[in-house]
Chains A and B, each alone.
Chain A
Amino acid sequence: MRVPIDWLSEYVEIELTPVELSERLAMTGTEVARVLHHGPLSADNFVVGKVLSAEQHPDADRLRVCSVDTGDSEPRTIVCGAPNVAAGQTVSVALPGAVMPDGTKLGEAKLRGIKSSGMILAEDELGIGGEHDGIMVLTDDLAAGTPLAGVFAVSSDVLEPELTPNRGDCGGLYGIARELHAATGAALSAPPWSDDPGASTLGSAPAGISVTVDDAALCPRFTARIFENVTVGRSPIWLKARLAAAGQRSISNVVDITNYVMLVSGHPLHAFDLDRIAGGELTVRAARDGEKLTTLDGEERTLDGDICLIADADGPTSLAGVMGGSRSEVSDQTTSVLLEVAVWDGANINRTSTRLGLRSEASSRFEKGLSPEGALEAQAMASALMLELTGATLVDGTLDVGGDGPAANVIRLRDARIISLLGTPIARERSQAILEALGFTVTAADDGLDVTVPHWRRDDVTREADLIEEVARINGLESLPATLPLNRTGRAGGLSHQQRLVRRAEDVLVGRGLCEIVGWSFADPQICDRLLLDDDHPLRALVVIENPMSSAQSVMRPSILPSLLDAAAYNMARGAEGCALFESGSVYRAGRGDDGMAASEHHGLGAIVTGPVREPSWADAQPPAARIETAHALVSSVLGALGVDWQVEDGELPFLHPGRTAMIRTAEGLLGWFGEVHPAVAASWEITQPIAALAIDIGRAAAQAPSHSIFTDLTSFPPLREDLAVIVPAAVTAASVVACVTAAGSPLVSRAEVFDVYSGEQVGEGRVSLALHVDYSAGDRTLSDEDVAPLREKIVAALKVELDGELRG
């Protein structure tokens, strides 16, 4: 919305600069996005001129040499190219020294040998409309030399406020004027609809038209007046200039009046050509599915059953509250006008304009919800202009379906409540003055004020808290003290244990050299194919966005892995030899979880490492490349830091190397996986080297972690430590050897850990040698060889029997 200050000053006395006005509006709740300027920066040297004579230029067919009285002692010579310039015209003249809107300063110039001291102006040269077919001709009552700014708005600063959705009343200049009146104390003029030429016609409907409203909820009020003997033509220059400054194009006097009144009152109006309303009757009703209507912009619109329209005997003729129809549009031939001012349901208008992709000045105002009383205000103001500018006569009667809105709400504003909500008092007299300035009616009460809400704030101000906001915002929040509230929750606050553990897990990965990324929650549905998921794989249960911004972002990621691969590919395409990345974020699956949420989400912690496990350096030129054990070590670090007991388990995941896939199992179930990314998947991200990867449901991991550790005495009786080398068939896993040793050595084996793996000739084909550190300990004594010897025998026997293993060497 554009608010030309020159125009605004008709309603409120303006003494502040545009920047000061913007600041004051901003500090009272109306943000001003921009301050613009319309027309030349200064109106100096723009005056009224009288063309005394206009002769053909001796050396140029298209130029006239004019003698123009501009109020100076002598007429001045102006060479003019307009075809319509003629002696006797009253015109707009830019004198030498005038600065045009594009910044050029006018001087005296010779045109084909004749000195021209000034310029006779066309509309577009002042930024009014696009017409350049001729000079602008003014009314003859203006004296030569009159400053042009006294005739119409030549130059004006323009505010561009951003209205909040609750302030439909500020959709017109008078509403803004009222805000400034309250915010600055500047005098406010009486509303421009105070004198209604049709006041005597209220209460009865005009002859020749009938209106039926099917659904009063969609159309709380429908008013109409009929004007006859209308002469459709051009608007006067002052009206065109104001519309232009507000960013609107002049169309015709009738249409311009509807726009002008809307810009002042905030209430949109619509003019029908009465003779083109078939059957002389209008029906406000819901559209039928598939019904069509051609709107004023020439577009044919297909409607649905939730859209409200206005129909005549021939069908739809106007899209209610959004845009009129072309069939009943006012044209040059129009002589009878039906002026509609209605109130529409804001939500419905919002839905319609969204559904049709059609936002208009009208829809953006109706969306905010307008008051029924405002309809008659707009009728009053428009009626006066119709009579004045189109020569129309007003047919007796005002059609009114729906009438005024509900009775005004009276709300008690308690002094005590102001203090308790704001933390600072506001004097009752001050509150009263503010509310009255805003148009509220106020009477004294025992403990405060009884406040009657004006119709234009009916939906916005309904409770005491709303009144307190009004008082507080105008009074200013600058002086509000800054206090800290008592925290009486009885809780210490801070992170929960699980939140601390999630941070710890992330910190562990950072400590191990990984960089955290933040990926998109959105994914491409093709992600399932890229991850080689079978058709019935559970990860294919995608959360699908109904209205995505692009198909590449049309589902929610089912795994954290693709985000990491995206980031790796991005960096490797930019020269990185490898990457060590992790992400901590949500992963989504369709369907309701146990908690009744709309989709199941979990907090995933994922990591990938590819290329050298650490940056090569001068003393470490070729660090090993990341493999599955790199991921394994990271899982051990993270879960070890959390104190979660876990085990490796065989598994299959389509996006992992089938020989290098491991599942992470705890007593409570699967917690995640680690392994190497399937080479075909990696290739789809254009990565050709092994990628170690892991994913942990870190939310569940943290939930399973012990709340705190309990002391175990590991120092009073040091363990007895020995190494065992065991040769087993290659298919026997390290974990099963460790399990066998631990079980056979129970209860004294406190630790068994593989520290070396060897396969080769010395151990025989198809066999592998594993070297283990084994600790024996008892909590109450230091063990001797005699204690351990029988256990060692049991271990050797168990390895032999259970795993076909034998001690090496």
Chain B
Amino acid sequence: MIERVTEIQKQAEAEIAAASSSAALEELRVQYLGRKAELPQLLRDVAQLPPEQRGEAGRTANQARQTLEVMIETAAARFEADELSAALADDNVDITLPGSPAESCGHHHLLTATRREIEDVFCGLGYSVVEGPEVETVHYNFDALNHDPAHPARARSDTFYIEGGGEGSEQTLLRTHTSPMQIRIMEQTPPPIALIVPGRVFRRDSDATHTPQFHQIEGLLVDEGVTLADLKGTLLAFARAIFGADRELRLRPHFFPFTEPSVEVDVSCFMCEKGATSGGERCSLCKGTGWLEVLGSGMVDPNVFAAVSEHGYDPDTHQGFAFGLGIERIAMLKHGVPDLRFFYENDLRFLRQFG
């Protein structure tokens, strides 16, 4: 019997090794291990043997059966994996078809994206962000900011006034800059302060380079011992964060009613080298000057502190700087937007390019 078992095992092993599909394997399983197969029958017959033979014969037959079972399982697993791979390889699709459902992500408006980018730069420098009213008074928009009574910006040709809105310094208007918040904040918060004011502003101007509404970010830092050099360093950090690490800054003296000294700030052009492109042509972005005018700023005028002196701002001890930049201008420069009108047309073909 043992010889027969060994013989069956050898034969079965050879046939299992030669099997070429899981179906053939299944046939072999039935043939050698099925209920009617010889090996299980031999195992059942062990009980008929004389007791002294049963031990060895039983062991041998059992081992043979287990060996064959493992061989078949192993081979079957291999066939299944191969057959699955083959089936999956056939089950292919055009992976270049677009995704579906087409729930594409939306977009922030470029002005929002730019505003947030700038806010984040100053937040990183420790500034807080505050917002203020767009309908303002003459007091906050002009008087407290040291605007001469004859300052041209006050003219009805330049500034929108609101009907039925008070007299004199209480007259209401649409703020022409974000600077009124300088006063409101200093009335509420004693020094030192470091903050920016993003917001919408209005001027009576409409042509290729002006829209009657636009957006600014005001900056104000007040403490003892703040210097013009600090302003330069702060704006240099800003310029490099927004326009690239190689940027340089140029301050040009200017006049603003609420700063003294006042400076216009130019950033070195990021499209060219000193006004000339790599091809040696005149740079169209900076018009060949090598500099881009980006904002106005200066040291807070002592008269502005005088307007809030009762709130702890003493012109003799406190100094500060303020700056105001146009979000549209930064966005146009950085993203090459050629015309202001794109910002307010809200054409989806424009909106989807940014943010």
* Chain A residues near B (Cβ < 8 Å): 26-29, 31, 164-167, 345-351, 354, 367-369, 420-424, 463, 465-466, 468-469, 472-473, 477-478, 480-489, 491-496, 499, 503, 506, 509-522, 543-549, 553, 556, 566-567, 570-571, 574, 576, 579-582, 584-586, 588, 597-599, 601, 603, 614-620, 623
Interface assignment of B44: CB less than 8 Å from any CB of chain A: no
Among B248-265, those with CB < 8 Å from A are 249-255, 257, 260-264
Task: Tell me the bound Cα distance from A350 to B149 in angstroms.
Answer: 9
- Complex contact A29–B255 (CB within 8 A): yes
Task: Tell me the bound Cα distance from A543 to B105 in angstroms.
Answer: 36
- Complex contact A483–B229 (CB within 8 A): yes
User: Which one, A28, A506, A520, A543, contacts B112 given CB within 8 A?
Assistant: A506
Task: Tell me the bound Cα distance from A646 to B227 in angstroms.
Answer: 50
- Complex contact A513–B103 (CB within 8 A): yes
Q: Who on chain A is nearest to B321 by CB?
A: A485
Which residues of chain B come closer than 8 Å to A487, judged between CB atoms? 125-126, 192, 194
Which residues of chain A come closer than 8 Å to B156, judged between CB atoms? 354, 546-547
Dominant secondary structure at the B interface: mixed
- Complex contact B227–A165 (CB within 8 A): no
Which residues of chain B come closer than 8 Å to A27, judged between CB atoms? 252-253
- Complex contact A422–B228 (CB within 8 A): yes
Which residues of chain B come closer than 8 Å to A585, judged between CB atoms? 200
Task: Tell me the bound Cα distance from A269 to B134 in angstroms.
Answer: 43
- Complex contact A494–B229 (CB within 8 A): no
- Complex contact B106–A598 (CB within 8 A): no
User: Which one, A26, A354, A466, contacts B157 given CB within 8 A?
Assistant: A354
Which residues of chain A come closer than 8 Å to B136, judged between CB atoms? 598
Interface assignment of B24: CB less than 8 Å from any CB of chain A: no
In angstroms, how far is the closest chain A Cβ from the Cβ of B285?
19
Q: A511-B106, A597-B133 are in contact. List 6 more A-B contacts (CB 8 A).
A: A465-B302, A494-B129, A520-B344, A521-B202, A545-B174, A571-B347
Known: A517-B351, A597-B133. A493 touches B128 (CB 8 A): yes
Q: Who on chain A is nearest to B289 by CB?
A: A23
Which of A510, A513, A546, A623: most chain B CB closer than 10 A? A546
Among B77-130, those with CB < 8 Å from A are 97-109, 111-112, 116, 119, 122-123, 125-129
Which residues of chain A come closer than 8 Å to B133, judged between CB atoms? 597-599, 601
Task: Tell me the bound Cα distance from A421 to B204 in angstroms.
Answer: 35
Q: Who on chain A is nearest to B191 by CB?
A: A489
User: Which one, A29, A367, A463, contacts B150 given CB within 8 A?
Assistant: A367
- Complex contact A616–B102 (CB within 8 A): yes
Which residues of chain A come closer than 8 Å to B165, judged between CB atoms? 546, 598
Which residues of chain B come closer than 8 Å to A522, judged between CB atoms? 212-213
- Complex contact B150–A369 (CB within 8 A): yes
Which residues of chain B come closer than 8 Å to A489, judged between CB atoms? 126, 128, 192-194, 223
- Complex contact B129–A496 (CB within 8 A): yes
* Chain B residues near A (Cβ < 8 Å): 97-109, 111-112, 116, 119, 122-123, 125-129, 131, 133-137, 148-152, 155-157, 160-166, 172, 174, 192-194, 200, 202, 204, 206, 212-213, 221, 223, 225-230, 232-234, 236-237, 249-255, 257, 260-264, 299, 301-302, 319, 343-348, 351-352, 355
- Complex contact B346–A571 (CB within 8 A): yes
Known: A499-B129, A520-B344. A597 touches B106 (CB 8 A): no
Task: Tell me the bound Cα distance from A503 to B116 in angstroms.
Answer: 9
Task: Tell me the bound Cα distance from A514 to B102 in angstroms.
Answer: 13
In angstroms, how far is the closest chain A Cβ from the Cβ of B311?
15
Which residues of chain B come closer than 8 Å to A482, judged between CB atoms? 229, 232-233, 236, 249
- Complex contact A517–B152 (CB within 8 A): no
- Complex contact A165–B346 (CB within 8 A): no
- Complex contact A466–B129 (CB within 8 A): no
- Complex contact B193–A617 (CB within 8 A): no
In angstroms, how far is the closest chain B Cβ from the Cβ of A410?
18
- Complex contact B261–A546 (CB within 8 A): no
Counting from the closest, the 4 A-B pairs by CB-CB distance are A423-B229, A423-B227, A164-B255, A473-B253
In angstroms, how far is the closest chain A Cβ from the Cβ of B336?
19
In angstroms, how far is the closest chain A Cβ from the Cβ of B300?
9
Task: Tell me the bound Cα distance from A135 to B229 in angstroms.
Answer: 61
Task: Tell me the bound Cα distance from A247 to B97 in angstroms.
Answer: 67
- Complex contact A614–B125 (CB within 8 A): no
Which residues of chain A come closer than 8 Å to B249, judged between CB atoms? 482
Known: A514-B106, A545-B161. A521 touches B213 (CB 8 A): yes
- Complex contact B302–A545 (CB within 8 A): no
- Can you list 30 A-B pairs, Cβ within 8 angstroms, ordered by A? A369-B150, A420-B319, A423-B229, A463-B302, A469-B260, A477-B250, A478-B250, A480-B251, A482-B229, A482-B232, A485-B227, A489-B128, A493-B128, A495-B129, A503-B116, A516-B107, A518-B109, A521-B202, A545-B174, A547-B160, A549-B212, A585-B200, A598-B137, A599-B135, A601-B133, A603-B131, A614-B102, A618-B97, A619-B97, A619-B101
- Complex contact B152–A165 (CB within 8 A): yes
Task: Tell me the bound Cα distance from A493 to B162 in angstroms.
Answer: 35
Task: Tell me the bound Cα distance from A455 to B202 in angstroms.
Answer: 37
User: Which one, B99, B125, B227, contacts A493 given CB within 8 A?
Assistant: B125
In angstroms, how far is the closest chain B Cβ from the Cβ of A268?
16
In angstroms, how far is the closest chain A Cβ from the Cβ of B314?
14
Which residues of chain B come closer than 8 Å to A350, judged between CB atoms? 150, 152, 155
In angstroms, how far is the closest chain B Cβ from the Cβ of A575?
10
- Complex contact B250–A549 (CB within 8 A): no
Known: A544-B162, A549-B206. A477 touches B225 (CB 8 A): no
Known: A480-B251, A518-B109, A521-B213. A495 touches B119 (CB 8 A): yes
- Complex contact A421–B108 (CB within 8 A): no
Known: A511-B106, A546-B163. A570 touches B347 (CB 8 A): yes
Which residues of chain A come closer than 8 Å to B301, judged between CB atoms? 465
User: Which one, A472, A488, A509, A579, contacts B253 given CB within 8 A?
Assistant: A472
- Complex contact B229–A422 (CB within 8 A): yes
Which residues of chain B come closer than 8 Å to A421, judged between CB atoms? 227-228, 261, 299, 319
Which residues of chain B come closer than 8 Å to A512, judged between CB atoms? 106
Which residues of chain B come closer than 8 Å to A549, judged between CB atoms? 204, 206, 212
Q: Who on chain B is nearest to A593 by CB?
A: B133
User: Which one, A480, A481, A510, A553, contacts B108 given CB within 8 A?
Assistant: A510
- Complex contact A483–B112 (CB within 8 A): no
